[in-house]
Amino acid sequence: DAKTTQPTSMDCAEGRAANLPCNHSTISGNEYVYWYRQIHSQGPQYIIHGLKNNETNEMASLIITEDRKSSTLILPHATLRDTAVYYCIVGKGDTGRRALTFGSGTRLQVQP
Amino acid sequence: NAGVMQNPRHLVRRRGQEARLRCSPMKGHSHVYWYRQLPEEGLKFMVYLQKENIIDESGMPKERFSAEFPKEGPSILRIQQVVRGDSAAYFCASSPETSGGSGEQFFGPGTRLTVL
């Protein structure tokens, strides 16, 4: 699986958009980008995933660059409950059937 | 539909004792994964099981650790002769049988193991 690089920490004001970047320059053609988050010692929670196209769901949007070497997770209106560690994971499709490789993630602090 | 259930939520053992951690996957899920999170560290994959089979145990320590997922009942992660370094949060995740879909793994709340 491709390695990912994320900033260690970020701050965001409540109500503003939080943009979390991830570099995955060694991603291969059949690898997806997945985002999970872990809110203070709870079990990780799936957020979104994508292959080439930008994706949006009720939680977030995922923007993947055309060369697929980086991506950005966007939380459009961050709330205090979005304070968490966010993990960008790259792997072949169907990680529902494979181990997830968690890196260090980005610790997002949403400020009131 | 209940989520992934783990018990106990907190477990305290003395060095040398055995720890048994249980995980009940979501209804309809036949794939189970165990992850360990040491204090102030990220999650590390340990083992991936299907019913009655170990698919991938590449992250499992070679000694003292074992896992099973019987035909009936929960998945069990067993740690024999625990040491202080085993103190960690152990998370279980599950996924359905069919491939495709979101590729999502559903995580339980974890078991916090403390070894005295």
At A13-52, the pLDDT tens digits run 999 999 999 999 999 888 889 999 999 889 999 999 999 9
In chain A, helix, strand, coil percent, each to 5? 5, 45, 45
Structure tokens at A75: 């939380």
Identity of the residue in B45, B105, B110 whose CB atom sits nearest the CB atom of A96: B105
Q: Is the Cβ pair A43, B109 closer than 8 Å?
A: yes
pLDDT, tens only, B54-79: 999 999 999 999 999 999 999 999 99
DSSP 3-state assignment of B22?
strand
User: What backbone torsions phi and psi does residue B17 show, to the nearest 5 degrees?
Assistant: -80, 175
**Residues on chain A touching B33 (C-beta within 8 angstroms):** 99-100
Any B CB within 8 A of A42 CB: yes
Any A CB within 8 A of B106 CB: yes
Whole-number percent of chain A with pLDDT over 70: 94
Q: Is the Cβ pair A96, B99 closer than 8 Å?
A: yes
For residue A29, what pLDDT is reported?
85
How many residues are recorded in chain B?
116
Structure tokens at A51: 């292959």
Whole-number percent of chain B with pLDDT over 70: 93
B98 Ramachandran zone, left/alpha/beta (phi>0; psi -120 to 50): beta
Structure tokens at A9: 């920490």
Any A CB within 8 A of B39 CB: no
For residue B101, what pLDDT is reported?
53
Chain mean pLDDT for chain B: 92
User: What backbone torsions phi and psi does residue A24 show, to the nearest 5 degrees?
Assistant: -145, 65
**Residues on chain A touching B96 (C-beta within 8 angstroms):** 96
pLDDT for B1 beyond 60: no
Q: Is the Cβ pair A34, B103 closer than 8 Å?
A: yes
Contact B5, B38 (CB under 8 A): no
